[in-house]
Amino acid sequence: MAAGGRAAGSEVIWARSERASRGPRPAFTREEIAEAAVRIADGSGLAAVSMRRVATAVGCATMSLYNYVPSKGDLVDLMVEMVSGEYRLPESPSGDWRADLLELARQERDMMRRHPWLPSAVLAHHLLGPNTLRYMEFCLAALEGSGLDDGLKMELISMVNGTVISMASAEHAAAERAKESGHSEEQRRTAQADHLAKTVGTGRYPRVARALANSAPAGDQDEVFARLIGRVLDAYAGQAGAAEG
């Protein structure tokens, strides 16, 4: 991540030993530092997470914190890795790869609701920690019977994650806008629908009017989410069928 930065050519945090071979035992663990940073981000947003504030939260000097975490970017990596531990992964896939990936997408969406800073953080995250690798390993295991080659499997996982991130970001932005305006999300949607109906009713946008008239109601957010993720999965299922044909 640009904020805080990393030295050019420096090792990722996972390649660094948490404890030096010599010297006193560390006073804190990376897990404790990440927990403090996550609490700050959950309460005040990712921008509020600074090395100084995290150092204060764990009870050390700011410069001392750099001995544990070299940069703000490394700290964000640790935060995303910690939150990735919230996935509830079964011992083995169910045998239905679509159902497995949809369930993981739902879990990811719930995580992003609990941690609204996560969508922006995960885009710059190094997928090298044990929790994220465990998630990737499970996804690939679930996709073993899909007929997709390894490249398409990785692409599908990225597409599902990207869709979840996009929808979670939009949902959070709408909630923030409603909070700032003092109106509920339902009130905002009603106002938008009324404005759209009046505007397309002028006849200036016939294609938009026709599309709206022929479209089924969107449904609630959970239904829309499941439908969109399902379409991503179906598209890749089609790729597998084409390859087998």
What is the signed CA dihedral for 60, 66, 68, 72, rounded to 10 degrees? 110
Residue-level pLDDT at 90? 94
Q: Which residues of 101-131 are buried (b: 16+ CB within 10 A; e: fewer)?
A: bbbbbebbbebbeebbbbbbbbeebbeebeb
pLDDT band at residue 218 using 50, 70 and 90 as cut-offs:
low
- For residue 173, the tally of other CB atoms under 10 A from its CB is 12
Give the per-residue pLDDT at 4.
42
pLDDT value at 77 more than 60: yes
With a pLDDT cut of 70, the percent of the chain lying above it is 88
Q: For the range 57-63, what are the long-range contacts, defined as Cβ-Cβ under 8 Å and sequence gap of 24 or more?
A: 58/28, 58/32, 58/33, 60/27, 60/28
> pLDDT grade, residue 244 (50/70/90)?
low
Low-confidence winner among 5-14, 46-55, 200-209 (lowest mean pLDDT): 5-14
pLDDT at 2: 33
**Rounded CA separation 233/144 (Å):** 14
Q: Which residue has the higher pLDDT, 207 or 105?
A: 105
Give the pLDDT confidence score for residue 168 in this predicted structure. 93
* Mean pLDDT of the residues in the chain: 86
Q: What span, in angstroms and rounded, lies between the C-alpha atoms of 23 and 89?
A: 38
Q: Distance between CA 66 and CA 53 in Å, rounded?
A: 13
The structure tokens listed for 198 are 């009046």
Task: Kindly state the average pLDDT of the residues 54-62.
Answer: 94
